[in-house]
């Protein structure tokens, strides 16, 4: 390279660097899944399991139930609630997906039989988003030339969903079942380990509510204390209400000498 060529090369290099600097660093980011695949049923299941079982334990304990009765009630509540939540999530998500796919099929038929009308409709949608008329017509024509892409755009604009990204009912059911069981076992732990102390179970449940509620709040970028206080307050209201019911029912049963009195069979008399 000659001496006269060197400044030109330097200027070319400097020009490329200046252009890159003007453009700035490449922007790249990823979003978390907000379609409701696993997070909603997991959070719902964990909090539901925790509040359900601590309320059951508070009610049975307030009524004077034995450790055996509390463990039996808690385990029954855990199993019944976990499978009920899983079944409900599976049916709910499946039904929602079936409804979406039925509407998508309707949109596909419209695109096949009324392509011009659907293209004009797409132009209107793009215009509503602030795109100029000429650009909207050109974009709608290009999109409509690809049926699969046109169907995806129409589904997003009219239904607010992407048919390729629907939540899985199996994921929702599994997340709900597992999280409910985890939440429900927390207030049972002291009794399962041999400690017949209701206040210990209530304290562990309160701590779990604070941690769980706070973590969910941080996951959604809100203050930790906001989610913690909210979840603790909801759990405390439920447990306090059932404890008072158990206390009242247990006291009434004790006062009356028992709810059920079984008559003795008289000799020679058969009761049907």
> What are the pLDDT digits (tens) for 28-64?
556 555 555 677 788 888 899 999 999 999 999 888 8
pLDDT (tens digit per residue) in 122-162: 888 888 888 888 898 888 888 888 888 888 888 888 888 88
Q: Highest mean pLDDT: which of 133-147, 165-179, 239-253?
A: 165-179
Tell which residue, 234, 238, 233, has the closest CA to residue 55: 238
pLDDT of residue 190: 92
pLDDT of residue 250: 74
pTM: 0.72
Per the CB < 8 A criterion, the answer to whether 179 and 46 are in contact is yes
Q: Which residue has the higher pLDDT, 35 or 168?
A: 168
Go through 241-253 and write b for each residue having 16 or more CB atoms within 10 A of its CB, e for each that does not.
ebbeebbeebeee
Tell which residue, 251, 240, 253, 256, has the closest CA to residue 59: 240
pLDDT (tens digit per residue) in 229-244: 999 999 999 999 999 9
């Amino acid at each position: 390279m000659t001496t006269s060529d060197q400044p030109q090369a330097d200027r070319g290099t400097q020009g490329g660097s200046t252009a890159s600097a003007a453009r700035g660093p490449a922007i790249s980011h990823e979003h978390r899944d907000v379609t409701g695949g696993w997070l909603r049923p997991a959070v719902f299941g964990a909090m539901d399991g925790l509040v359900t079982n601590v309320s059951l334990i508070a009610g049975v304990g307030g009524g004077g139930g034995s450790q055996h009765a509390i463990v039996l009630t808690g385990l029954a509540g855990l199993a019944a609630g976990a499978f009920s939540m899983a079944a409900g999530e599976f049916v709910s998500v499946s039904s929602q997906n079936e409804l979406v796919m039925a509407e998508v099929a309707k949109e596909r038929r419209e695109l096949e039989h009324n392509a011009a009308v659907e293209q004009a409709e797409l132009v209107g949608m793009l215009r509503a988003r602030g795109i100029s008329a000429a650009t909207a017509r050109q974009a709608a024509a290009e999109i409509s030339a690809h049926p699969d892409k046109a169907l995806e755009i129409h589904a997003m604009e009219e239904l607010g969903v992407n048919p390729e990204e629907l939540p899985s009912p199996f994921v929702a059911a599994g997340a709900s079942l597992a999280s409910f069981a985890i939440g429900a076992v927390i207030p049972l732990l002291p009794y399962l380990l041999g400690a017949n102390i209701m206040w210990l179970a209530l304290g562990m449940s309160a701590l779990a509510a604070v941690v769980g509620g706070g973590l969910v709040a941080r996951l959604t970028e809100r203050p930790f204390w906001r989610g913690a206080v909210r979840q603790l307050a909801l759990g405390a209201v439920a447990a306090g209400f059932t404890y008072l019911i158990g206390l009242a029912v247990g006291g009434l049963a004790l006062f009356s000498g028992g709810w059920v009195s079984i008559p003795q069979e008289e000799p020679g008399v058969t009761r049907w």
